[in-house]
Structure 1
Amino acid sequence: MMAKLVLSLDGEVLGYHFLEKASFGIGRKPENEMQIDDSSVSKEHAVILTVGNDQILEDLGSTNGTLVNGVKIKKHILQNNDVIDIGRYQLRYINQKAKPGVDSDRTIMMMPVMSQRHREEKSESPAQTATLPDTAVSVARVANDIFPLGGIKGLQGPLAGQTLELSRPLATFGKAGVQVAVINRRPHGYSITRVEGKKPPLVNGLAIGEEAQLLQDEDQIEVGGEILRFFLKQTA
């Protein structure tokens, strides 16, 4: 059964929405997949990205924030029966197939996938990161023992001039609602996967397919108006 959100206010169920799209926007603007026309909700409040079998909730810099089970979040892998607070409203996430816990393919590097509006507002600010649980750090260390650590250098766009280590198993890049890709770190190497967008991201000028594509040292990536260079750190 497809994952869904049950919308309620003050304990009264108002309706439900299936997560049919790779990117599911929530906010006050009518362009969102779920429009909540209330002053407590930002125009582009949050987005849910589908990556593989998981749904990832991300706050888009909303005024009142996004809470999951009473805890304010920036980014969160949704679990079955999670309760999301958006303004005065509650969303219950229902997905019997959601896997509990954290593993090497499901831990997220906290690099915000901003809406296009937030990209423009914050283009001069450095990318923010957040600390992951010790279990995630342990997984990353194991992967590093098997395959060299990789990184991304921004050539054009909001990350231009910045160099980021890909030390976490999953990193997201692009603009929500426009074009998003994920780079997945596994023991045998790094791969890039298309998440959303009418046009696929480019690697060395060529469109990637629907399946994950293995990245090579010095590959150039174009996604969501950004140009990035992937590299592998040389081991001694």
Structure 2
Amino acid sequence: MASLSQLVDNVVVTTFELDQPTIHVGRSPGNDIRIDEISVSGHHAVIESVANAYLEDTLDYYITDSNSTNGTFVNDIRISGRQRLNSNDIVRIAWNEFRFVDEDESAMEKTAYILD
């Protein structure tokens, strides 16, 4: 199972399990992951889990920015569309830093995308 761990000074303070096909991230109360911080938009980003096209019983995770004010970043690069997440990627929601961890990700999965 994959998770998103919030980091403060590179220390995990909160971990969110990504246990639904679609996870909404933002400041508004209706979000699955709620970040009560002024730099985060009400509906900031969406994380989706999708069946891998090459490997059975494998999920891929994607993050999409929801036209937020302060942006969504993966490994310090601002994303503008849908971005695939790899285990240990650093995700920044406005000024809040997270580490994406996918315990089920394998080297074979990464190879499938290189060959694509």
Question: Which amino acid counterpart does residue 17 of structure 1 have in structure 2?
Answer: F
Tell me how far 1:102 sits from its aligned partner. 5.8
Structure with greater proportional strand content: 2
Contact 1:68 1:84 in 2 (8 A): yes
User: What residue is the counterpart of 1:153 in the other structure?
Assistant: none
User: What residue is the counterpart of 2:79 in the other structure?
Assistant: 73
Question: Deviations 1:52-84 (Å, cap 9, x if unpaired)?
Answer: 111111001010111100111122111010000
Structure 2: distance between partners of 1:86 and 1:101: 28
CA RMSD of aligned residues (A): 1.8
Structure 2: distance between partners of 1:28 and 1:20: 20
Question: Deviations 1:142-200 (Å, cap 9, x if unpaired)?
Answer: xxxxxxxxxxxxxxxxxxxxxxxxxxxxxxxxxxxxxxxxxxxxxxxxxxxxxxxxxxx
Question: Which amino acid counterpart does residue 92 of structure 1 have in structure 2?
Answer: R
Question: Which amino acid counterpart does residue 39 of structure 1 have in structure 2?
Answer: I
Structure 1: 5+ residue runs without aligned partners? 104-134, 140-236
Q: CA 1:102/1:72 → structure 2, altered by over 3 Å: closer, same or farther? A: farther
User: What residue is the counterpart of 2:15 in the other structure?
Assistant: 16
Structure 2: distance between partners of 1:71 and 1:100: 20
Question: Which amino acid counterpart does residue 8 of structure 2 have in structure 1?
Answer: L
Q: How many residues align?
A: 105
* Secondary structure of the structure 2 residue equivalent to 1:44: coil
Question: Deviations 1:10-31 (Å, cap 9, x if unpaired)?
Answer: 3342210110111001100111
**TM-score, structure 2 length as denominator?**
0.82
Structure 2: 5+ residue runs without aligned partners? 52-58
Structure 1: distance between partners of 2:95 and 2:10: 11
- Give the fraction of aligned pairs with identical amino acids, expressed as a percent: 33
User: What residue is the counterpart of 1:43 in the other structure?
Assistant: 42
Alignment of 1:61 with 2:46, yes or no, is no
Structure 2: distance between partners of 1:57 and 1:67: 10
**TM-score, structure 1 length as denominator?**
0.42
Question: Which amino acid counterpart does residue 16 of structure 1 have in structure 2?
Answer: T
Structure 2: distance between partners of 1:102 and 1:43: 36
Rg larger for: 1
